[in-house]
Structure 1
């Protein structure tokens, strides 16, 4: 089952990379990201954790250098955001402020897992349930920002 899911994820990513920019630019009003170190873009930077990537050589090929991404440059979610036509990168929850959250937020945390104890040996991390709580907080902020839940629902 896992192998089939991975194959479909690869097919999805390949399709996103070959579709014309204009064909999908307005298809997604916002982009919320949950996960682990594969898509963490800086949420662990301020945590007391061994699972950090905000130092060299991480980010050596990234325009701003190390950001907390566990790669030398952009991650798959950065590429997908660009392909979907977002004007900027999706910010990490740790630094997302103001109207930028209307485009989406990255909740991913290195060493996180679905189970609460996953990654505990590495120190602090935001588990999947913690990421969901952060998402609920963001939804509340968006609702307050737009005035009502209905306005938030209609804006997407």
Structure 2
């Protein structure tokens, strides 16, 4: 499977819509109710911690997408996008806290992790366009030298 480094407006818009829907689901899932017992306190803490990680992950994804939308709208230059549109790395969830959460909440967290990973792959592929590859340049220079040396 080949990877593309060309991001275009329809791709960004589709991902943005997907991220907005997912962010709304995350907001609803982590809307906390008051605890009723001491056991629920531990679940509430786990829910708070994982909720913070998950909402932060979604805000990073949305910020990345908004920066790209601004670029396609002509509000950011490519230089500004490269400089300020970096997707921060994801932070892994705590397995012990994840066990305390409902299966639906764990699945929702998994969806946000998967979306962040997709965006991270796109960001990496897009940024690789700007990375200098000296080894490639040196190989090309050697090939040119060999080809010109035969004349």
TM-score range (shorter-chain normalised) is: under 0.3
TM-score (norm 1): 0.27
Query: Which structure's CA Rg is the greater one?
Result: 2
TM-score (norm 2): 0.28
Structure with the bigger RCO (C-alpha within 8 Å, sep 6+) is 2
> Is the helix fraction higher in 1 or 2?
2
